[in-house]
Amino acid sequence: MTQAQRPEPCDFLIEAGFVVPVEPLGVVLQDHAVAVTDGEIVAVMPIAEARRRFAATETVQRPDAALIPGLVNAHTHNPMTLLRGIADDLPLMVWLREHIWPAEAAVMGPESVADGVGLAIAEMLRGGTTCCNENYFFPDVQAVVYRRHGFRAVIGLPIIDFPTAWAQTADEYFERAVEVHDQWRGDALIGTAFAPHAPYTVGDANFERIRVLADQLDIPVHLHTHETAQEVADSVQLHGQRPLARLDRLGLVNDRLIAVHMTQLAEAEIELCAERGVSVVHCPESNLKLASGFCPAGALQRAGVNLAIGTDGCASNNDLDMFGETRTAALLAKAVAGDATVLNAAVALRAATLGGARAIGLGARIGSIELGKRADLACVDLSMIETQPLHHVLSQLVYAVGRHQVTDVWIDGRRRMAARELVDIDLAQVAANARQWRARIAVGGG
Amino acid sequence: MTQAQRPEPCDFLIEAGFVVPVEPLGVVLQDHAVAVTDGEIVAVMPIAEARRRFAATETVQRPDAALIPGLVNAHTHNPMTLLRGIADDLPLMVWLREHIWPAEAAVMGPESVADGVGLAIAEMLRGGTTCCNENYFFPDVQAVVYRRHGFRAVIGLPIIDFPTAWAQTADEYFERAVEVHDQWRGDALIGTAFAPHAPYTVGDANFERIRVLADQLDIPVHLHTHETAQEVADSVQLHGQRPLARLDRLGLVNDRLIAVHMTQLAEAEIELCAERGVSVVHCPESNLKLASGFCPAGALQRAGVNLAIGTDGCASNNDLDMFGETRTAALLAKAVAGDATVLNAAVALRAATLGGARAIGLGARIGSIELGKRADLACVDLSMIETQPLHHVLSQLVYAVGRHQVTDVWIDGRRRMAARELVDIDLAQVAANARQWRARIAVGGG
């Protein structure tokens, strides 16, 4: 070597005891650093080497932590965080008709949507989630709140065959959808997806409009389907086809489709999803709590289907804890498959990060710690007594970590949580906002 | 009123936003206080009334918290906490033969047992667990460590039909069992139970000795059984009977029996358990992770069987999180039963407290907040963003709380954690002890 290289500038360097890039699968890099400039990951290398190469404006040292890609919650109804625990332990239709719908009728509107999303963002950041796939009414309001807090979100554009506070007619649903899409087109953090509610609440005509528009706008289609045996039976009775077959007839079974729940799947349907590049979002805790059934996550994994993980809304979960949800997914898959090797820790963590990113069309931008990707990152402290001794990092992350072990979060290269403190969110204010909705919701259905 | 009463002295008063006594089922007392003297609960009443009646030496105010009975982990192998995450995602026999047994062979002895239990106690206290039903070798060593930390435990007296580091022959197993029992007889915190490993590792002769001795010593019998379909099939082949029928023939199916796992149960077997007063310990996360099957918790509840919850050991879970385990139990029961109303929040919390206490023969002393019971208590902060808004306390406790929300713990009236600080445990030392076993275990099978 003839001469020392002049150090390159970089915005910040995170030096971690372990870096878990997710891609390649199963890799754990010990004592590595991640360098970020202009929100982009520009280097992943041993700490000593990074110190020689970079002159960082800021260096964050986390020798006891694992740095992981931020978690991607691939199916949420975050405004419903205000309904956390409003009614539990009830059959689906009693729960909906006697509690959720009356509560929503009482309070659903731009104000409650904004406060619910604000509460959800605080909870998600504190649990290492940096991106969510949102599905609720008033997407315009949601987008503003996510953007204000620098949170990455794909906002569902709701389509449903009956009038709601958001829109009255099919035409109005589509007009408002395109309006919201246009408003946020090209935004660094906010994307959109069509969000037809479910096969039993959306008719063929609207699904056909969605297919055409989703292609034109180049956005995903985010849909609850095959959630319960009843839904499948009703579809057969009404349409002479199971929901997936009907969606296929309508041209929607392709790599735009984000199919949520999928607890009722025949072998051929799993193969179809694999062939067509459908992403399946597994929401195990919601499926268990509502007694909907068991998504065959192991069989989907074996077939090569892109698997993502979602918490569903807080009214049916009752949290936005992606660490907990991922653990439940990994545990449940084994008993459902009768095979303890499926959804191992590495595969489960991939589903919670890169799998979610791919599902929502962001697989090239986020979901793993790779050169050129945006810096959506979370630091997880593994030195706590609950993760000692530390035999295997991936095992601890999936099977033992609690979300309170997340210390730091970055989204698009901007610090959102630092040493457990949210950067620009006043927690007391968020909690006060949530509390003032409590009484108003109770009047409705709580 | 003619004259103000002179206040009664009491050792301490806990004033909580909510007191959840567990018995009666489903009750939540708002703004109530619990008074404790000599380790005993002497009053449960509204805060204002308690302040008039008592002159407490100490008052602890927790207006944002729920005070609950300490959680009872009804099946653990706490020395195995040192093996947390040593090997995951493997079929049972590969996991045991290639990882667990070699690791145990490499390090199992009084020293590792003491350090493993020390680590487990710290983890349990931080998660609101105040009592455990222990099942491992070197019960003598365990008992000393639990006692030293003022932790309540029923210590399993292991019986297994082959030699181990603890004992070589059947006679030696029984001699050592009786010795440990005699040593701790009448202790305020430490009890004992026979712990025959499983029907496939204990022969009829030893089960018969256990039956006679358990009656004589008046202690429970803590047994893994009906854990897997293979176990049941093997028993039919070898004994011509399913394990429960064989145990019944041997006189062991009665209210002393703590039957752990029970994922394979016919309707008649559930009824038998109900009739005979057998307690079933449900370890859902272990059963899922090892692909053992699904305990029919909803059917057991409906039949009136006493249901308790256990984490199993950290090698197969991988934590001692009773909040997480209880949530998993409540969620899973609904999907397994196809009925969202089973194991509701109140019933699940009872299983995690009073159900466990009853299983281990302590139902009259702990497990609920009632007059005359020992003060085993935990405070759970519900003001955190993750449990807002607070529509229903029981719902939050079971479906949303993370164990890090536990702030204070008392066992037998002695403070064990205060505002999140363990009273007499040096966490850094506990972690250092755990870490030094890491390398030694890795040599064995990690």
Element (H, E) at B152: strand B152-159
- The pLDDT of residue B391 is 95
Q: Tokens 């030694």: give the residue.
A: B440
Report yes or no on B371 lying in a domain: no
CA–CA gap between residue A248 and residue B232 (Å, rounded):
44
- Percent of chain A with pLDDT strictly greater than 90: 94
Q: Is the pLDDT of residue A331 over 90?
A: yes
Could you give phi then psi for residue A299, rounded to 5 degrees? -65, -40
Report yes or no on A430 lying in a domain: no
Question: Looking at CA atoms only, how far is residue A314 from chain B in angstroms?
Answer: 9
Q: What are the pLDDT digits (tens) for A47-99? A: 999 999 999 999 999 999 999 999 999 999 999 999 999 999 998 888 988 99
Q: What are the pLDDT digits (tens) for B131-167? A: 999 999 999 999 999 999 999 999 999 999 999 999 9
CA–CA gap between residue B325 and residue B333 (Å, rounded):
12
Residues pairing with B16 in the sheet: B32, B62
Do the Cβ atoms of A411 and A70 come closer than 8 Å?
A: yes
Q: Is the pLDDT of residue A419 over 90?
A: yes
- Assign B310 to helix, strand or coil: coil
In the chain, the amino acid numbered A398 is: V
Q: Verify that A39 and A132 share a domain, yes or no.
A: no
Report yes or no on B434 lying in a domain: no
Q: Verify that A41 and A186 share a domain, yes or no.
A: no
Q: Tokens 């969620």: give the residue.
A: B331
Asked whether the beta carbons of residue A392 and residue B324 sit closer than 8 angstroms, the reply is no
CA–CA gap between residue A283 and residue A260 (Å, rounded):
7
Q: Which of B356, B225, B343 is nearest to B293 (CA)?
A: B225
Q: Verify that B292 and B163 share a domain, yes or no.
A: yes
Interface of A with B in 88-127 (CB under 8 A): 88-92, 95, 119, 122-123, 126-127
Q: Is the pLDDT of residue A5 over 80?
A: no
The number of helix segments (H) and strand segments (E) in chain A equals 17, 16
- Percent of chain B with pLDDT strictly greater than 90: 94
Of A291, A292, A319, the CB nearest to B386: A319
CA–CA gap between residue B39 and residue B70 (Å, rounded):
14
ipTM of the complex as predicted: 0.97
Interface of A with B in 127-186 (CB under 8 A): 127
Interface of B with A in 347-386 (CB under 8 A): 383, 385-386
Q: Verify that B83 and B65 share a domain, yes or no.
A: no
Do the Cβ atoms of A320 and A81 come closer than 8 Å?
A: yes
DSSP letters, B93-138, are HHHIIIIIHHHHHHH-SHHHHHHHHHHHHHHHHHTTEEEEEE-SS-
Tell which of A399, A403, A426 to mutate to test the B interface (max B CBs under 10 Å): A399
Q: Which of B16, B130, B151 is nearest to B70 (CA)?
A: B130
Report yes or no on B394 lying in a domain: yes
Number of domains in chain A: 2
Q: What are the pLDDT digits (tens) for A394-418? A: 999 999 999 999 999 999 999 999 9
Chain B residues within an 8 Å CB radius of A227:
none
Domain that holds residue B15: 3-69+377-411
Asked whether the beta carbons of residue A389 and residue B82 sit closer than 8 angstroms, the reply is yes
Asked whether the beta carbons of residue A126 and residue B385 sit closer than 8 angstroms, the reply is yes
Asked whether the beta carbons of residue B126 and residue A385 sit closer than 8 angstroms, the reply is yes
Q: Which of B166, B77, B181 is nearest to B119 (CA)?
A: B77
CA–CA gap between residue A400 and residue B324 (Å, rounded):
10
Q: Verify that A49 and A159 share a domain, yes or no.
A: no
pLDDT band for position B4 (cuts 50, 70, 90) = low
Of A359, A390, A425, the position where a domain reaches its end is: A359
CA–CA gap between residue A35 and residue A209 (Å, rounded):
44
Nearest CA in chain B to A338: B291
Work out the average pLDDT over B214-225.
98
Q: Is the pLDDT of residue B25 over 50?
A: yes
Encoding tokens for residue A359?
A: 């599902």
Asked whether the beta carbons of residue B392 and residue A86 sit closer than 8 angstroms, the reply is yes
Q: Verify that B41 and B92 share a domain, yes or no.
A: no
Work out the average pLDDT over B94-113.
92
Q: Is the pLDDT of residue B444 over 70?
A: no
Of B339, B345, B437, the CB nearest to A291: B339
Q: Is the pLDDT of residue A297 over 60?
A: yes
pTM of the complete model: 0.97
The angle, 0 to 180 degrees and rounded to 10, between the axes of the packed helices B110-126 and B139-148 is: 40
Q: What are the pLDDT digits (tens) for B174-199? A: 999 999 999 999 999 999 999 999 99
Q: What's the mean pLDDT when you consider all of chain A? A: 96
Report yes or no on B323 lying in a domain: yes
Q: Which of A365, A431, A371 is nearest to A35 (CA)?
A: A371
Of A324, A343, A396, the CB nearest to B85: A396
Q: Verify that B80 and B57 share a domain, yes or no.
A: no
**Is residue A82 less than 8 Å (CB to CB) from chain B?**
yes
CATH code for the domain of B131: 3.20.20.140
Q: Is the pLDDT of residue A25 over 60?
A: yes
Please list, in sequence order, all residues whose beta carbon lies within 8 angstroms of the beta carbon of residue B136, skipping any fewer than 6 positions away: B77, B78, B79, B80, B113, B142, B156, B158, B313
Q: Is the pLDDT of residue B1 over 60?
A: no
Please tell me which residue, B105 or A295, carries the higher pLDDT value: A295
CA–CA gap between residue B373 and residue B394 (Å, rounded):
22
Could you give phi then psi for residue A213, rounded to 5 degrees? -70, -35
Q: Verify that A25 and A161 share a domain, yes or no.
A: no
CA–CA gap between residue A174 and residue B121 (Å, rounded):
58
- The pLDDT of residue A445 is 47
In the chain, the amino acid numbered B152 is: R
Interface contacts A/B by beta carbons within 8 Å = 206
CA–CA gap between residue B232 and residue A183 (Å, rounded):
62
Element (H, E) at A41: strand A40-46
Cis peptide before B284 (omega within 30 of 0): no
Question: Looking at CA atoms only, how far is residue B348 from chain A in angstroms?
Answer: 11
Encoding tokens for residue A295?
A: 């998504």
CA–CA gap between residue A355 and residue A131 (Å, rounded):
12
Report yes or no on B442 lying in a domain: no
**Is residue A438 less than 8 Å (CB to CB) from chain B?**
yes
In the chain, the amino acid numbered A30 is: Q
Q: Is the pLDDT of residue A1 over 50?
A: no
Nearest CA in chain B to A292: B335
Please give the C-alpha separations between residue A154 and each of A130, A214, A258, B87, in angstroms, as whole numbers. 11, 14, 12, 37
Q: Verify that A205 and A95 share a domain, yes or no.
A: yes
Report yes or no on A401 lying in a domain: yes
Q: What are the pLDDT digits (tens) for A142-155? A: 999 999 999 999 99
Q: Is the pLDDT of residue A46 over 50?
A: yes
Interface of A with B in 298-317 (CB under 8 A): 317
Question: Looking at CA atoms only, how far is residue B180 from chain A in angstroms?
Answer: 29
Please give the C-alpha separations between residue B375 and each of B94, B414, B443, in angstroms, as whole numbers. 43, 8, 43
Chain B residues within an 8 Å CB radius of A386:
123, 126-127, 319, 321
Q: What are the pLDDT digits (tens) for B385-428? A: 999 999 999 999 999 999 999 999 999 999 999 999 999 999 99
Q: Which of A320, A352, A353, A313 is nearest to A156 (CA)?
A: A313
pLDDT band for position B432 (cuts 50, 70, 90) = very high
pLDDT band for position B445 (cuts 50, 70, 90) = very low
Q: Verify that B173 and B185 share a domain, yes or no.
A: yes
CA dihedral sign of residues A281, B335, B310, B426: positive
Interface of A with B in 319-348 (CB under 8 A): 319, 321, 324, 327-328, 330-332, 334-335, 337-345
Lowest pLDDT segment from A42-46, B225-229, B313-317: B313-317
Nearest CA in chain A to B344: A89
Could you give phi then psi for residue A191, rounded to 5 degrees? -120, 175
Q: Verify that A227 and A119 share a domain, yes or no.
A: yes
Do the Cβ atoms of B192 and B157 come closer than 8 Å?
A: yes
Q: Is the pLDDT of residue B259 over 90?
A: yes
Q: Which of A48, A337, A32, A389 is nearest to B123 (CA)?
A: A389
* DSSP assigned state of A385: G
Could you give phi then psi for residue B34, rounded to 5 degrees? -120, 125
Chain A residues within an 8 Å CB radius of B122:
385
CATH code for the domain of B61: 2.30.40.10
CA–CA gap between residue A327 and residue A39 (Å, rounded):
30
Asked whether the beta carbons of residue B324 and residue A321 sit closer than 8 angstroms, the reply is no
CA–CA gap between residue B385 and residue A123 (Å, rounded):
6
Chain A residues within an 8 Å CB radius of B331:
285, 288-289, 328
Report yes or no on B368 lying in a domain: no
Q: Is the pLDDT of residue A319 over 50?
A: yes
DSSP letters, A69-106, are EPEEEEEE-GGGGGGTTSS-S--HHHHIIIIIHHHHHH
Q: Verify that A243 and A351 share a domain, yes or no.
A: yes
In the chain, the amino acid numbered B330 is: A
Q: Is the pLDDT of residue A425 over 80?
A: yes
